Structure 1
Amino acid sequence: MFSHRHTLRCARFAARRYMASSTAQNPIPATFLRGGTSKGIFLHRDNLPADRDQWPRIFLGIMGSPDKEQLNGMGGGVSSLSKICVVSPGSPEQQAQGIAVEYTFVQVGVRDSSIDYSGNCGNLSSMIGVFASDEGICAPPPPGAASHTVRSFNTNTLKVIDTTFPVAESYAALDLPETSIAGVPGKASTILMEFVHPAGARTGKLLPSGSSLDILEIPASPTQTRQLRVSYVDATNPTVFVGSTELSEFLSFDEYVAGSASSAAATSVSETLELIRQRGAERMGLDPSAQAQPKIAVLSAPDKADLEEGVDIVVHALSMGVLHRTVPMTVGLCLGVAANVHGTLGWELVQQARSTSGKPLGEDMVRIRHPSGLVDVGAKFAEDGSVKSATVVRTGRRLMKGVVWW
């Protein structure tokens, strides 16, 4: 029987031979991986042009954008399937600090030609260590080790992430029936992610406005304005949090989530949420035209059935202007941090839920309900109130390895 390492070496050799012999002008060695509830193309930095100005046309070609179906590429027509990670070994200075890998996350537009480097993807980040280990970008696990931890540096947010995954025969073992995550069928190996010092990923501050709660004024009609309570939090990725109860007072938000709103009502909800996001971006000192950052998430109190499952809070998040089928993991992690910061909307809702359910008020693990199920996220704080880490469990799967055309 061939070992997993042997199979990977053969795949790399075949890709190099194909590159040398093919008459096509542009195949690039690539690996297609699922991480959490996202899928994406993983590339070696050395296989891309040194001039980053040439990257956009390559990435658009790989994904098949712009096209709502992305039929000519590897994308799946939604933002969670239109992603790329560019990976390289850490610099000598980084490696001296224990950072083995550096990577850049790329959000590729589906219906347009946007290439966004402004944020990170928590789901695909869970597979950076696995990819680096498979490709020999980082040191292999010690002989006989049952698990391996790879420390990576994300260039988008300038943050460090540790991923720990099980190993067998010195390679990442992803098919152990250990855990399941909402939105993905079946069980797989546990990948533990720890975002180190995640606060201020884009703005340099956990609370970019200086307050845990802000009042945002927006037009509700041609003659009226509305004041909304919002929280601006920047942990793993900056996010604008707003409450569903206040939105539902003047928008068909529940119908929008259920998919039953008229086209006009759904358009009104989308436009209003984008306006809130843009106003929030300005308040956070970010570019309001960069649709990927900040994210916007609508928070709700759990109902009776949710409380029986230990749910602390319910979230509906948008990604690139579209209601997300699950929750972007960086938004989930940001919410996990926010729920432990006194005075934020997340903190208020979690405290209310725990007062009703009897769950300990001070527990730092937060159970979130999103459109596809549940996820538990955690946050650890130092004595001075700074965020030491944010933690979540993901799973992943190898899907394909070879070359990709652009």
Structure 2
Amino acid sequence: MTSLRYKHTTANPLPATFYRGGTSKGIFINRADLPENISDWDPIFLGIMGSPDPEHGRQLNGMGGGVSSLSKICVVGEPSEARKAEGIDVDYTFVQVGIRDSAIDYSGNCGNLSSMIGVFALDEGLCKPRTVDSTRGVASVRSWNTNTNKVIDTTFPVADSDGVSTPSLNLPQAVVAGVPGKASQIVLDFVSPGGARTGKVLPTGLPTEIFEIPISIATSASKFRISLVDATNPTVFILAEDLRTALHIDPDSPIDFANPEVREVMETIRRRGAERMGLDPSAQAQPKIAALSPPSPKDSQQGVDIVIHAFSMGVLHKAVPMTVGLCLGVASGLERTIAWEIVTKNGQVKPSNLVRILHPGGLVEVGADIGEGMDVKSAKVVRTGRRLMKGVVWW
């Protein structure tokens, strides 16, 4: 394996690979092909994605797709010698690129694209996999996410040929809601994910608290029960019921999360939550915000534990950002959070059990291992992925 060297000039076009990971797609770039100074990355990433596109929001001049789940980049490279000594195989930085503006956000991680870090690392020859089960051809890669300073393990099938292990992504093993067909199972394991940004799984020390938020149609501020949880990525959880009450939405009518008034209220709560967690409220990518509700009787019979509507970059996500899903899995195991109250009333879900989440795109199961004193040991989820293209990208 060659030593890591940085170039003084950046190629245009730039070597890159395009992957689907879970319900997201993104450009993966070898760290060695970018400038050493991270401050020089922004114009490259904006050019790759076709941002900003203030008038149309479609990113037609780049690889972006006009929604947050398609405007993502991962920069992957060899770890430092110190990290290698700690057992890390590869480092990566996740980048969320603005669509209508020039925002470049390094504040959080992407669970969906994290599932493809190990695949890219092997495809690029950045590391060798660790054998998990040689009889089944399953191996893993341990990565270090620089955004959150957390360890993430990805485990997936590999095929060995002449001593070279190549990820096998086309086995009919698993289904991901929102993605057609089956593909190889990729197990994503966030090790000790608590306090990814704030240092604490409950940044304020409280499982629930009350926010009073001014609503234009109300004469006084409306009250919202909130849980602020930081696991894999910090998230503000609210009750959909409180949103319905504040906006006088008929109990028999669905909440239109695309309604500008709903979006305004969600963003106001998100910003307040960011301030309470000591985060920058103007950074749209972090924290996320999601409205939770109990499953309907029909959904409950199908094993659904909780329903989520999550926002990403101010817009309702068509599925659920995977880091938010994992954060919800952790929150469901933390006593007296609003997530815990919902799942325990529904099915007596224990912290080590899988939580079955219903989102606009379908179902996902997440698991969290929580020890004494709210020690979150790990959070796991199954993803699939696909190689889409490898070559060069103009910026």
Both proteins in one fold, TM over 0.5:
yes
Partner of 1:8: none
- Tell me, in whole angstroms, the C-alpha distance in 1 between the residues paired with 2:230 and 2:169: 31
Give the aligned partner of residue 221 of structure 2: 225
Residues in 2 aligned to 1:25 and 1:100: alpha-carbon distance in whole angstroms: 26
> SS where residue 62 of structure 2 aligns?
coil
Q: Name the CA distance, whole Å, in 2 between partners of 1:78 and 1:362.
A: 33
- 1:365 is matched with 354
* Equivalent position of 1:90 in the other structure: 79
2:42 is equivalent to residue 56 of structure 1: yes
* Contact 2:291/2:308, CA 8 A, preserved across alignment: yes
d(CA) in 1 for partners of 2:254 and 2:392?
40
CA shift digits 1:324-352 (9 cap, x unpaired):
00000000000000000000000000011
Conserved 8 A contact 1:244-1:253: no
C-alpha contact (below 8 Å) 1:314/1:369 kept by paired residues? yes
The residue type paired with residue 230 of structure 1 is: I
Q: 3-state SS of the aligned residue for 1:249?
A: helix
Shift of 1:66: 1.2
Q: Distance in 1 between matches of 2:173 and 2:152?
A: 22
Change beyond 3 A, Cα 1:362–1:334: closer
- Give the superposition deviation at 1:139: 1.5
The answer on 1:153 being equivalent to 2:144 is yes
Equivalent pair of 1:129/1:163 in contact (CA under 8 Å):
yes
| More moved, 231-240 vs 42-51 | 42-51
Q: What SS does structure 2 have at the residue aligned with 1:334? A: helix
Task: Give the stretch that moved more between structures: 32-41 or 140-149.
Answer: 140-149
For residue 32 of structure 2, what is the aligned residue in structure 1? 46
Q: Aligned pair 1:352/2:345, yes or no? A: yes
Which residue of structure 2 lines up, in the alignment, with residue 205 of structure 1? Answer: 200
Tell me if structure 2 keeps the 8 A contact 1:252–1:269. Answer: no
In structure 2, do the counterparts of structure 1 residues 55 and 254 end up closer, same or farther at CA, with 3 Å as the change threshold?
farther
Tell me how far apart the structure 1 counterparts of residues 196 and 352 of structure 2 sit (CA, whole Å).
24
Where does 1:131-170 land on structure 2 (aligned, <5 Å)? Answer: 131-140=120-129, 146-169=137-160, 170=165
Tell me if structure 1 keeps the 8 A contact 2:256–2:262.
no
Deviation of residue 251 (structure 1)?
2.1
Distance 2:182 2:297 in 1: 28
Q: CA deviation at 1:374?
A: 0.4
Q: Could you report, residue by residue, the CA deviation over 1:144-179 in whole angstroms, capped at 9, with x for unpaired residues? A: 661111000000000000000001122100000001
Q: CA offset at residue 259 of structure 1?
A: 8.2
Distance 1:254 1:36 in 2: 35
Aligned-partner Cα distance in 2 for 1:260–1:324 = 13
Structure 2 counterpart of 1:156, one-letter code: N
Distance 1:125 1:195 in 2: 10
Distance 1:366 1:41 in 2: 30
Match of 1:102 in 2: 91
CA distance 1:369–1:26, shift in 2 (3 Å):
same
1:158-207 Cα offsets, whole Å, 9 max, x none, are 00000000011221000000010101000000000110000000000000
Per-residue CA deviation, residues 352-376 of structure 1 (Å, 9 max, x unaligned), is: 1116xxxx55652100000010000
How far is the alpha carbon of 1:385 from its aligned partner? 3.1
CA contact (8 A) 2:169 2:184 kept: yes
CA distance in 2, matches of 1:373, 1:64: 30
Aligned to 2:61: 72
1:237 and 2:233 matched: yes
* Contact 2:334–2:351 (Cα < 8 Å) also in 1: no
Letter of the 1:225 partner, please give it.
Answer: A
Residue of 366, 390, 395 corresponding to 1:377: 366
Residues 260 and 94 of structure 1: is their aligned pair in 2 closer, same or farther, counting only changes over 3 Å?
closer
What does 1:113-124 correspond to in 2, within 5 Å? 113-124=102-113
Contact 1:150/1:162 (CA < 8 Å) preserved in 2? yes
Partner SS, residue 382 of structure 2? strand
How far apart, in 2, do the equivalents of 1:144 and 1:317 lie? 39
Shift of 1:305: 1.6
Q: Does structure 2 retain, via aligned residues, the 8 Å contact 1:354–1:361?
A: no
User: In structure 2, what is the Cα distance between the partners aligned to 1:311 and 1:179?
Assistant: 19
The alpha-carbon deviation at position 226 of structure 1 amounts to: 1.1
The TM-score normalised by the length of structure 1 is: 0.89
Other-structure match for 2:302: 309
Amino acid at match of 1:37: T
* Residue 236 of structure 2 is aligned to residue 247 of structure 1: no
Partners of 2:342 and 2:45 lie apart in 1 by: 40
* Aligned-residue CA RMSD (Å): 2.0
Gaps of 5+ in 2: 1-9
* Counterpart check, 1:320 vs 2:316: no
Aligned residues: 375
Q: Distance in 1 between matches of 2:103 and 2:129?
A: 36
Amino acid at match of 2:201: L
Q: Write the letter of the residue equivalent to 1:112.
A: D
Q: CA deviation at 1:384?
A: 3.8
SS in 2 for 1:161: strand
User: Could you tell me whether the CA contact under 8 Å between 1:253 and 1:269 is conserved in 2?
Assistant: no
Which moves more between the two structures, 82-91 or 137-146?
137-146
Partners of 2:102 and 2:96 in 1: CA distance: 11
